[in-house]
Structure 1
């Protein structure tokens, strides 16, 4: 516990004798998540751990441990003062989720959304190793107006936007949430946009109509104009345009992108131009990063390498 960053909460059955581990684990899950019932065939060999940390409006939970079955019951729902959606991804083995009479068999890398206000079951057949993202219901509803109809639907982690979502989820961890590489709000926005796209909310731009296309252009223009602001958020841009944050995100999703993706793209375009122009050689690398809204020089270098194919110094030297 002392080795973990202060914002990470950790529970482990290693803290109690084997005979007490299942009772301890049920209590840990009820404290860290919600009231649930748990069974396991592991017997005296049972063991599990939970690490949890907030990331903006969401919470990142990492579960590891023995095979088990988890049940959200009517009694548990009645006892809960708070409810959430959970987005889960498991990469090591297949498992099964059941909710609303729908059963989804999930392969490694697949994701699934469940609603804690309704009965559900998780059958973790080989291990409990799972990343579980706790999502406020209002936050999910802003991204997915029909979220209740999307529970227990397999999100294919190997195809389309589902593969992008799965890859993004797998980069999350309580440790990363405790020290996010970019503002937590941007990471949450990225997750929300990818979730909407993976569950089919992103329509082709042609289907959005002239009004949606025009709004998307306004969002792009406003984002481009303000890209030099460190920590720029979708909410700030939406307020500047006099629209809701939900409208901003949905119009971008319909165009097949997210606010975080667009903002990063615009910043990298300007950075490429400045690094390729000798008139900016008087500016250091960190100053160029600052001028495109990236106050952390090391983060600027990483983004250049990822999006432009080389470090800022290499791009400048190779022009």
Structure 2
């Protein structure tokens, strides 16, 4: 059923090789294999088109879904037969759509993200077409980031409200280019997603650190991160352990300052790299080695991040200042 892929862990399904009239049946099998048992109907069943790309990481799975109009149903019978019941974080990048769960029908705009519990009956309605990211989230992982992950109704992170803006941007970027998830350390991307989910869905939740103590904790965290910039794959969890706080508290401390752990770490690394590139005593050290000492996994990753931040490659920037 799956199409071939150069990366054995990336799975793809496509209706391109399926005869007309059999495509919707194939598609139902594909989504049941990739996600969990669901029903699916479409008013263009005979000419149905669909492509699904699944990119697993350590904790979560990023799924890109592109298809014709469809309606998806998770029934009580399917739930009863299921062995696991993950959550799904879904964001559509082009067309409006609807989700119904717990007696509530929600109209969603392109860019809005919604968290759906597969242990509860739901319906997903895509009246025009599907172009979405669907992130499969294990229940244990969700419990690390959300104080109240379970709910009978969908939980919305609006594309234009607070941290929902940042969560939306991440979902839309990875939805349209799911293999980008492989460009970042898995633990860091997983932490970043969890922190954004927590900040967007539970913005008013109090932490165990009083508001007056958060600036000091943030300063300590940044100092520790500067000291450990050379650790490729440095995670918020290891920083939180070193500081003696929970990972959720650490992320909420960053969110209270309107920044994120991942964004702060990226900026600290880039600023350190730029400072070293400008110093004559580092002139004999290669650009790739400077990137490695600042915690970038490889030279191409460092070059891409540096150019995105400063408008030119690190090698060209160095030539301009030395």
TM-score in terms of structure 1 length: 0.90
Alignment match of 1:311 (pick from 304, 313, 316)? 313
2:10 and 2:51 map into 1 onto residues whose CA distance is 13
Partner in structure 1 of residue 56 of structure 2: 54
User: Is 1:80 matched up with 2:115?
Assistant: no
Distance 1:270 1:120, change over 3 A: same
Partner in structure 1 of residue 288 of structure 2: 286
1:305 and 1:7 map into 2 onto residues whose CA distance is 29
Partner in structure 2 of residue 185 of structure 1: 187
2:143 and 2:213 map into 1 onto residues whose CA distance is 23
TM-score in terms of structure 2 length: 0.89
Q: What do you get for the CA RMSD once the two structures are aligned?
A: 2.5
Alignment match of 2:24 (pick from 5, 15, 22)? 22
C-alpha deviation, 1:111, in angstroms: 1.5
C-alpha deviation, 1:238, in angstroms: 2.4
C-alpha deviation, 1:88, in angstroms: 0.8
Cα pair 1:52 1:174 within 8 Å, conserved:
no
Partner in structure 1 of residue 171 of structure 2: 169
Cα pair 1:36 1:73 within 8 Å, conserved:
yes
| Comparing 111-120 and 18-27, the one that deviates more | 18-27
2:247 and 2:199 map into 1 onto residues whose CA distance is 17
C-alpha deviation, 1:3, in angstroms: 4.3
Alignment match of 2:228 (pick from 226, 229, 232)? 226
User: Is 1:262 matched up with 2:264?
Assistant: yes
Partner in structure 1 of residue 279 of structure 2: 277
C-alpha deviation, 1:202, in angstroms: 6.8
1:110 and 1:138 map into 2 onto residues whose CA distance is 24
Cα pair 2:157 2:201 within 8 Å, conserved:
yes
Alignment match of 1:131 (pick from 130, 133, 136)? 133
C-alpha deviation, 1:151, in angstroms: 4.9
1:247 and 1:160 map into 2 onto residues whose CA distance is 18
C-alpha deviation, 1:250, in angstroms: 2.8
Cα pair 2:55 2:61 within 8 Å, conserved:
yes
2:176 and 2:61 map into 1 onto residues whose CA distance is 8
C-alpha deviation, 1:146, in angstroms: 2.7
Distance 1:92 1:22, change over 3 A: same
1:166 and 1:243 map into 2 onto residues whose CA distance is 28
Distance 1:259 1:188, change over 3 A: same
For structure 2, which runs of at least 5 residues remain unmatched after alignment?
none
Cα pair 1:289 1:296 within 8 Å, conserved:
yes
C-alpha deviation, 1:179, in angstroms: 6.9
C-alpha deviation, 1:204, in angstroms: 11
Partner in structure 2 of residue 111 of structure 1: 113
User: Is 1:40 matched up with 2:42?
Assistant: yes
C-alpha deviation, 1:318, in angstroms: 2.9
C-alpha deviation, 1:70, in angstroms: 0.8
2:22 counterpart SS class: helix
Paired positions, count: 318
C-alpha deviation, 1:140, in angstroms: 1.9
| Comparing 111-120 and 160-169, the one that deviates more | 160-169
Partner in structure 2 of residue 12 of structure 1: 14
